[in-house]
Amino acid sequence: MATRVGAVDSPGGGWRAAANIASRALAAADRASAAAGVDGWLLVLVLGLVAFGLVMVYSASEALGYLWTGNPNYFFEHQLIGVVLGAVGFAVAVRLDYHRLRALAKPAMALMVAMLVVVLIPHIGSEHFGAQRWVQLGPLSVQPSAVAVVVSIIFFARWLDQRGGAVRSMSGVRDYIIVMGVLLALILAERDLGSSIVIAASGFVLLALGGALKRHLLVLIAVLGVGGYGLVTLVAYRAARLAHFLNPCADALGSGFQNCQALLALGSGGLTGVGLGNSVLKYEWLPEAHTDFIFAIIGEELGLIGTVAVVTAFLLLAWRGIRASMRAPDRFGALLAGGITAWICIEAFVNVGAVTGVIPTTGIPLPFISYGGTSLATSLVGMGILCNISAQGRRHGAVHRAGVDRWGRDWRAPDPGAGPGPSPAGRRSRR
């Protein structure tokens, strides 16, 4: 697919080719979902996003790679490493029964916390753009906070699954919040607001899916809102970003520079874009054009059609993810699937929202697309887990879960991948 997209020369032909690819992909999705246990939709969405991401990383980083390293393919090649690692991680996670993650949750969390602490120790963690996030492992620099998201989702899904009804009590929610708070504090100590927000939001979604009482959730929303606002205004550079996020060009040479350049890129793209590879803003005008702000380059090169397509892809991913959660064979699977879906989609929103100026900038990559191996690999591992849950849900043929609405009416068509299940009449009974 990547080669197909890269080969188009005229915009019109490009869109025709894209439509062609999309229809083929849907057909492939059908076939995949029919044959393998894996959700074809998810598979195609993830593969498509990763391939598209590779193309965009190449386009956005070519000039930077040449300027900074002399090699225009520098970032593309490094991203390929991330794709390979991610693909391995994805393949392993798809085949690995997600139930076995239960046993991994605690040690992984312990290791995670240890790494987060290690990163804070000078000389081990390296500072980059004012954020202390990286740890060097041989030739790879790993960003522990990016791994922390997937680890914490596994950990908290297990936590909620194990404690069951406890989450409906004040004390249950309190414990959850304390553990979550410690983790967030560690990540905030690395000045990684973006990851903290994603973990907090995913944690909140897990809590809601886990069955916490409405009033607890509402109080939590209020506390998180006030706390988040306080946190943002406490840190000076974030306050400046906040002040200008709606109209960044008002301070185009100061704190609004990056966001203003992002809007200029999006605006330059218009409806159909300036054409793949033709961005001008990527020539050092837009900082982080290949990482956190790659969405702006997509908007410049492929226009509104490109940006809407990307957002739609994440929306479809949300739908398939939550559908997998609803159909998961058990509570742990449902929570895990919901948490992973929330993580990816919230991360996408926090990124796209910041680039378009809907929300303040917090510094987080666009999943699957932004340059950055750690983020890409962990996202793919997350998708692997999600696919595994989805596949097990189908095999399990658990008909009662998502298809039956709150009034007990079953509106689903028979699931061809579900295998032999209860008779249609049997499906109607809720218990």
Select 234 or 407, whichever has its Cβ closest to another protein. Answer: 407
- Residue 109 Cβ, how far from another protein at the closest point, in Å? 24
According to CB under 8 A, which one of 150, 193, 198, 322 is a site residue for another protein?
322
Work out whether 329 is an interface residue with another protein (CB under 8 A): yes
Q: What mask of x and - would describe binding to another protein in positions 239 to 258, judged by CB under 8 A?
A: ----------x---------
Select 189 or 249, whichever has its Cβ closest to another protein. Answer: 249
Work out whether 32 is an interface residue with another protein (CB under 8 A): no
Gyration radius of the chain's alpha carbons:
22
Crossing angle between the packed helical segments 331-356 and 373-396, to the nearest 10 degrees: 140
Work out whether 263 is an interface residue with another protein (CB under 8 A): yes
- Residue 369 Cβ, how far from another protein at the closest point, in Å? 15
Work out whether 37 is an interface residue with another protein (CB under 8 A): no
CA–CA distances in Å: residue 407 to residues 142, 150, 197, 334, 430: 48, 34, 35, 21, 10
Q: Rounded distance, CA 384 to CA 91, Å? A: 7
Q: Rounded distance, CA 269 to CA 33, Å? A: 36
Compute φ and ψ for 136, nearest 5 degrees: -90, 125
Q: Which of residues 364-423 bind another protein (CB under 8 A)?
A: 396, 398, 400-402, 404-406
Work out whether 308 is an interface residue with another protein (CB under 8 A): yes
Work out whether 156 is an interface residue with another protein (CB under 8 A): no
According to CB under 8 A, which one of 99, 331, 427, 428 is a site residue for another protein?
331
- Nearest Cα residue to 92 out of 394, 383, 393: 383
- Nearest Cα residue to 336 out of 401, 381, 386: 386
Q: Rounded distance, CA 195 to CA 377, Å? A: 15
- Nearest Cα residue to 20 out of 31, 5, 6: 5
According to CB under 8 A, which one of 81, 326, 415, 428 is a site residue for another protein?
326
Work out whether 202 is an interface residue with another protein (CB under 8 A): no
Q: Which stretch binds another protein (CB under 8 A): 34-42, 185-193, 327-335, 365-373?
A: 327-335
- Residue 211 Cβ, how far from another protein at the closest point, in Å? 3
According to CB under 8 A, which one of 13, 107, 164, 416 is a site residue for another protein?
164
Q: Which residues bind another protein (CB under 8 A)?
A: 63, 164-165, 168, 205, 208-211, 249, 263-271, 280-281, 283-285, 299, 303-304, 307-308, 311-312, 314-315, 318-319, 322, 325-326, 329-331, 334, 338, 341-342, 345, 349, 352-353, 356-358, 396, 398, 400-402, 404-406, 430-431
